Amino acid sequence: MLVSMKEQLKDAYLNGKAIYQFNINNLEWIKYILEECNNQSKPVILGVSSSAAKYMCGYKNVYSMVTNLLDSLNITIPVSIHFDHASDIEECKKAIDAGFTSIMLDYSSHSVEENIKYTNELINYINGRDILVEGEIGPIKEGSHADLNDCIKYVKNANVDILAASIGNIHGIYQGEVNLDFDLLKSIKENINKPIVLHGASGINEPMLKKCVSLGVSKININTDLQLAWYNGVRKGIAENPNVYDPRKVIGFGEQALKECIKEKLSLF
């Protein structure tokens, strides 16, 4: 069933747990993710980047695909549709109007003042509707650590529901060791008193993820690990079945590997 991310997070936040955001790319990925999360009876946030929304022919089409699949696959777990890393307010409005249940506004490469201004513009557009807003102080990239005072200022002046802050996490494949700043995470949590999102969680091991959750992370974003799992499954399938050219079968070679990866992630929390 489609729900507000606020509802999903409240449960995770109050119980010191975390909920996963898995990013989607096409019809098959939506199906595989929904089926596996439903099998494991775990709620899920479907993350949609702006480029993924374009690839899937727009927000309305994404919303329709997700809601139709919820129905046709008899999905009973709580599912939300989240616009991930939005960097354009007009795009956010389109996603909201299409039915998305939450928006992440990523103005982290702008000044904190601009970030506050645009986040408030988004909150005004939402105008009390049950749509969660995620903000970011970062940016999330190599060598970036969020400024604690910026986090405090941002949350004080733009009433986001959840904050993404850079603590040494990066998107994509980590080059070398993962080095997260747990002290910074702890200070941010103590000072903002709101749930925190861990972006770039692919490649972060179980003890580190668990430590993040114990220090206030309530949402964990995974994309790259799913892509790698699916890609390896497809490559193996093609290598073992060189005569198969039906696109449904070729895409499907990645299904089991993707589902295994999701199952493993879900088993942690």
List interacting residues with Zn ion (CB under 5 A). 199
Rank residues 52 and 151 by Cβ distance to ligand G3H and give the closer one. Answer: 52
200 is an interface residue for ligand G3H by CB under 6 A: yes
Q: How many residues bind ligand G3H, per CB under 6 A?
A: 15
Rank residues 16 and 172 by Cβ distance to ligand G3H and give the closer one. Answer: 172
- Contact by Cβ (8 Å): 244, 237: yes
CB of 204 to ligand G3H, least distance (A): 9
- Contact by Cβ (8 Å): 3, 45: no
| Given 84, 106, 150, 161, the catalytic residue | 84
Q: Considering only residues 94, 171, 186, 263, which one is a binding residue for ligand G3H as defined by CB under 6 A?
A: 171
Rank residues 199 and 265 by Cβ distance to Zn ion and give the closer one. Answer: 199
166 is an interface residue for ligand G3H by CB under 6 A: no
- Contact by Cβ (8 Å): 197, 169: no
Pick what 201 binds: Zn ion, ligand G3H, none; C-beta below 5 to 8 Å, kind-dependent. ligand G3H
Q: Considering only residues 30, 37, 84, 258, which one is a binding residue for ligand G3H as defined by CB under 6 A?
A: 84
Q: Assess whether 246 carries a catalytic annotation.
A: no
Stretch that binds ligand G3H, among 25-33, 148-156, 196-204, 243-251 (CB under 6 A): 196-204
Integer Cα distance of 158 and 150 in angstroms? 11
Rank residues 141 and 236 by Cβ distance to Zn ion and give the closer one. Answer: 141
Pick what 194 binds: Zn ion, ligand G3H, none; C-beta below 5 to 8 Å, kind-dependent. none
Closest C-alpha to 169, from 195, 136, 194, 202: 202
Rank residues 199 and 259 by Cβ distance to Zn ion and give the closer one. Answer: 199
223 is an interface residue for ligand G3H by CB under 6 A: yes
Q: Considering only residues 97, 142, 172, 268, which one is a binding residue for ligand G3H as defined by CB under 6 A?
A: 172
